[in-house]
Structure 1
Amino acid sequence: MANLSLAHLRLTPPKILSLGFILLIAAGTLLLSLPAASTGGRISFIDALFMATSATCVTGLAVIDTGTELTVFGQVVLLVLFQFGGLGFVTMATLITLVLSKRISLKERLLLQESMNQNSMQGIVKLIRRVLIYSLVIQLSGAILLAARFLKDMPVGKALYYGLFHSVSIFNNAGFDLFGDVHGPFSGLTRYVEDPIVNITSMLLIFLGGIGFIVLSDVVDFPKRKRLTLHSKVVLSTSAALIVTGAAVFFWLELNSTLKPLHTGGKIMASFLQAITPRSGGVTTIEIPLLRESTQFLMILLMFIGAAPGSTGGGIKITTFALLVVTVYARIRGKEDIVVFRHRISKDNVYRAITMTLLSLILVVTATMLLSVTESADFLTVLFEAVSAFGTSGITMGLTPELTTAGKILIIILMFVGRTGPLTLAYAIKPKKNKELYRYPEGNITIG
């Protein structure tokens, strides 16, 4: 963090955050390009860049199989990248500063505020401490549970390593797995579709990583405070609605298709995991190409919505989606104010939500059109891949390993923008704001 405080004063927090991700990706690309990172010799620069971007942006899309084509060194590089990328490089740098007992400067607090999507610097260092403690406890608990299950399938050392890798990967919503080395390349968790320990642990890790550290801290404090903030109420209620609705629709659509061979418990677990994982999780127990087109489109919608602000996930964010829904509902009812849980929402927040959604739609539509030109695949597959990259979901219909060089570059851009956020990136490159000295007369445009 000491180096960050010496950054040029004209570098705003959004610019520094974007630059930090770029530097992480560059370092990861260099390390993954080394012969020691690959089992088959040096991998190409574009593949190393793709994998480094996917790990840093906690996406999980992979052009090479992590379990078979990367050495332990290469896998550890990925693990470090998605740990830093998930928690945020500013948060991890703060950890180092706190360990060294150094003072957190005002500039650094501004960076922390931006990285955690907070409206105020008050209590930001305390929040970061909590984030680091919660993350460590959750990931360690997940590693123990998964390792205990993997002991049935592999030696102790390998089970412990797999438990740790997958716990960190799933909690950070990275979606990388090593089971290509056990069950075949790009096999994922399909062999564990009816395993309760793997399914429930994965769902909890994705959920806890995806609701955001602000909400997590608020929930832990609930027994003492006896209340939740408006932000936490919106995130938790919307998350619950999306999970239950998504699972019910998935179950209905796939009951006589991919879910048919499973027993009742397996069908329910598979439905809930596939409803949770599109919101940035990246791990699946069902082969996505085998799903019905309607189900694949359902997952596209869930991936586009994404996780909560200040979390390890991407997408337009749950709160943005919730705000758009209540805004439409309020306008239909002819209400002037937009009210959520007896709180009036400012117009600035509404404008921000609309701007975020439109920028994201433009980005995804443009990328899909370009990918349709560069790739030999049907439209739904291309759209699925584009939204998965933007939402940092990491779920694929099989197109990623077959991408052309141009396609890889497009997906890299989508993953980066999806992680840093369209608004953060827009703020990072925007010119200095000048105060308007005059206003134009109001005009009317017919709508609808």
Structure 2
Amino acid sequence: MVLPGLYTGPSLTWVDALFTATSAVCVTGLIVVDTATYFTTWGQAYVLLLIQLGGLGIVSFTSVIIAALGHRLSLRQEILTSRGANMVDEIDYHALTWAVVRFTFGAELVGAVLLYVFWVPEFGWTGAVWPSIFHTVSAFCNAGFSTFTTSLMGFQTNLPLLGVVMMLIVLGGLGFLTLEELNLWRHRRQKKGRFRLSVHSQIVLGTTAVLIVGGWVAFTAFEWHNTLAGMSLSERLVNGLFASITPRTAGFNTIDYAETTSGTNFLTIIFMVIGGSPGSTAGGIKTTTFALLGLLAWSRLQGRPTTSISARTIPEATLQKSTSLLVVALGIITVGIFLFSVLEVPGNGANAAFLTYMFEVVSAFNTVGLSMGATGELSDPGRLITVVLMFIGRVGTLTFVAAMARSPKHIKGGFRYAYEDVSIG
């Protein structure tokens, strides 16, 4: 980030260089300098390289982790299992990494061509090339970096272009395990064979659809007379849909989040915490964790001892992992908000400032990249805290999941202490 020829102005400080590199590799999208004006084309290409490597590395790593959950790996074929119950039993995990690479570059190629077609009328035959490539990779990797100062706010009325970006974000956030299983399902249907989608993919697809549609209705309603005012009906609907998709966890924006309503900001924070799906480039606690916790609460309210969906019972160990992941994530977010409250909120402690920095912490930890305008105003300690949050949110959570994926150890000495209950609630 400090090499000659990568920037146009004075060199970045080591803190800002670390911040930018971490944001790119962790596919977050938070920036302390304007990517559009500060970096040269070579500098933007370097940022894009970090995004692509970070995105591919994350997907490959998470796919291996998910494949290893609760089961020993064979040398030739790794079957995704959880305590003996097959989740996706027809995927060859030995070849999954190469499938990830092929699908990534294939999807990005198609996306770049489509964006190029929609940007040619505005930037010309040669001027549309680089923005198309950059935004395709950034969208598919859920990074949120843009070569435009105001992200995609200048293209609120270019509805086909926004549609392509949303498609790339969703594909990148679904997870390659689900995408590969959908591919198998398509081939089986063509051959008129039977194929049952795993519970994992059913939860991913169902939860993603509910979040997108529910968020679309809510965001559009909250911003109808605010940031969406002055647009046509179709433009309001498409931009409302974009606001529902981008918090999980792309980071592009077509509206100014410093001007959005409190309802929009709060819902955006919730969506940022949920994030995308396992085995994807997105961050957050993941759609499956959110869905399993909801199913767990519902089953307990009904007095059921087990949690079931689609005629299948979810293993208790998986439910415990989901609960643990949520507790750890909320704990880290809470610590981050506390540190920002002490270091960054003005002396008078304005409520507006607190919400701004809360938004910033959640966005950083869940590798979203959305901001209410606080990123560039952070002090060096605040920027270093953000770096740590981005790193932990991406790598730390995966490490935590990997640690939980190991088989439980036998009780030392062959005994346990006596049970004693504790009153709760």
State TM-score, norm by structure 1. Answer: 0.84
> Counterpart amino acid of 2:181?
D
Number of aligned residue pairs: give it.
393
Cα displacement string for residues 81-116 of structure 1 (whole angstroms, at most 9, x for unaligned residues)? 11111111684xxxxxxxxxxxxxxxxxx9962277
Going from structure 1 to structure 2, the CA distance change for 1:334 and 1:90 (only over 3 Å counts) comes to closer
1:194 aligns with 2:157: yes
8 Å CA contact 2:24, 2:50 repeated in 1:
yes
Note the C-alpha offset of 1:72. Answer: 1.5
* Residue equivalent to 1:65: 34
> Counterpart amino acid of 2:419?
E
Measured in 2, the distance between the counterparts of 1:194 and 1:41 equals: 35
Cα displacement string for residues 293-314 of structure 1 (whole angstroms, at most 9, x for unaligned residues)? 1110100000000000110010
1:114 aligns with 2:89: no
Measured in 2, the distance between the counterparts of 1:111 and 1:391 equals: 15
Note the C-alpha offset of 1:194. Answer: 2.1
8 Å CA contact 1:171, 1:205 repeated in 2:
yes
Cα displacement string for residues 319-350 of structure 1 (whole angstroms, at most 9, x for unaligned residues)? 00000000000000000110021110111101
> Counterpart amino acid of 1:375?
E
1:261-410 correspondence runs (5 A): 261-376=230-345, 378-410=353-385
* Residue equivalent to 1:414: 389
> Counterpart amino acid of 1:406?
P
1:129-278 correspondence runs (5 A): 129-180=98-149, 187-225=150-188, 226-278=195-247
Note the C-alpha offset of 1:429. Answer: 12
What is the DSSP-based 3-state SS (H/G/I as helix, E as strand, rest coil) of the residue aligned with 1:152?
Answer: helix
Cα displacement string for residues 371-418 of structure 1 (whole angstroms, at most 9, x for unaligned residues)? 111113611111100010111110010001111101111111111111
CA RMSD of aligned residues (A): 2.2
Measured in 2, the distance between the counterparts of 1:427 and 1:232 equals: 20
> Counterpart amino acid of 1:67?
A
* Residue equivalent to 1:83: 52
Measured in 2, the distance between the counterparts of 1:408 and 1:284 equals: 22
8 Å CA contact 1:39, 1:69 repeated in 2:
yes
* Residue equivalent to 2:419: 442
8 Å CA contact 2:59, 2:280 repeated in 1:
no
Runs of 4+ in structure 1 deviating by more than 4 angstroms, as ranges, are 115-120, 425-430, 432-435
8 Å CA contact 1:46, 1:405 repeated in 2:
yes
Going from structure 1 to structure 2, the CA distance change for 1:356 and 1:429 (only over 3 Å counts) comes to closer
Going from structure 1 to structure 2, the CA distance change for 1:283 and 1:88 (only over 3 Å counts) comes to same
What is the DSSP-based 3-state SS (H/G/I as helix, E as strand, rest coil) of the residue aligned with 2:313?
Answer: strand
1:124 aligns with 2:89: no
Measured in 1, the distance between the counterparts of 2:46 and 2:32 equals: 16
Going from structure 1 to structure 2, the CA distance change for 1:116 and 1:130 (only over 3 Å counts) comes to same
Note the C-alpha offset of 1:433. Answer: 6.3
State TM-score, norm by structure 2. Answer: 0.88
Unaligned runs of 5+ in 2: 80-91, 189-194, 347-352
8 Å CA contact 2:59, 2:100 repeated in 1:
no
Identity of aligned residues (%): 37
- Range that drifts further, 118-127 or 136-145: 118-127
Measured in 2, the distance between the counterparts of 1:202 and 1:111 equals: 24
Measured in 2, the distance between the counterparts of 1:422 and 1:393 equals: 15
Going from structure 1 to structure 2, the CA distance change for 1:330 and 1:177 (only over 3 Å counts) comes to same
Going from structure 1 to structure 2, the CA distance change for 1:117 and 1:376 (only over 3 Å counts) comes to farther
> Counterpart amino acid of 1:212?
G
Note the C-alpha offset of 1:288. Answer: 0.7
Cα displacement string for residues 2-49 of structure 1 (whole angstroms, at most 9, x for unaligned residues)? xxxxxxxxxxxxxxxxxxxxxxxxxxxxxx121221111321111110
Measured in 2, the distance between the counterparts of 1:371 and 1:287 equals: 22
8 Å CA contact 1:289, 1:398 repeated in 2:
yes
> Counterpart amino acid of 1:215?
T
Going from structure 1 to structure 2, the CA distance change for 1:111 and 1:312 (only over 3 Å counts) comes to closer
